[in-house]
Amino acid sequence: QVQLVESGGGLVQAGGSLRLSCAASGSTFSVHAIAWYRQAPGKQRERVALISSGGSTNYADSVKGRFTISRDNAKNTVYLQMNSLKPEDTAVYYCNRFPTVWSWGQGTQVTVSS
């Protein structure tokens, strides 16, 4: 079973940037599409960015133009560069396989102050 470890979250002012990392164990990481998800308090988890095994990307409308997903298969790591952050981006961010998920990691908290 693949284990996922998210990191890089923190407290940032509106307009700031953060770079999240998702490190995965397991040798089959590179063949899977990986997504970043987020869950805000009282809301359902939503997918915000997706990267295919070949590097194609897809973004939720709410983050398009501000977030960039990338991957380094040699390091079994996926990144999420988040720019121009808004208070509504505040959430716990998770990564996982898409569409069929592995066990969820602990996530990383992102808090954007106004």
27 pLDDT higher than 90: no
Local confidence band at 1 (pLDDT 50, 70, 90 cut-offs): confident
75 pLDDT higher than 80: yes
Closest CA to 93 of 15, 51, 35, 52: 35
* Averaged pLDDT, 57-78: 97
The residue with tokens 């590097």 is 55
Tokens linked to 55: 């590097």
Q: Kindly report which listed range (33-37, 55-59, 100-104) carries the lowest average pLDDT score.
A: 100-104
Q: Is residue 21 classed as helix, strand or coil in its secondary structure?
A: strand
Task: Tell me what the pLDDT averaged over the chain comes to.
Answer: 96
Tokens linked to 71: 């991957």
First to last CA, the chain: 40
Q: Which amino acid is at 22?
A: C
* Averaged pLDDT, 21-49: 93
* Averaged pLDDT, 2-18: 97
Distance of CA 17 to the CA centre of its chain: 14
Residues 6+ apart with CB under 8 A from 38: 45, 46, 48, 89, 91, 92, 93, 94, 110
Tokens linked to 109: 């908290």
* Averaged pLDDT, 37-51: 97
Local confidence band at 64 (pLDDT 50, 70, 90 cut-offs): very high
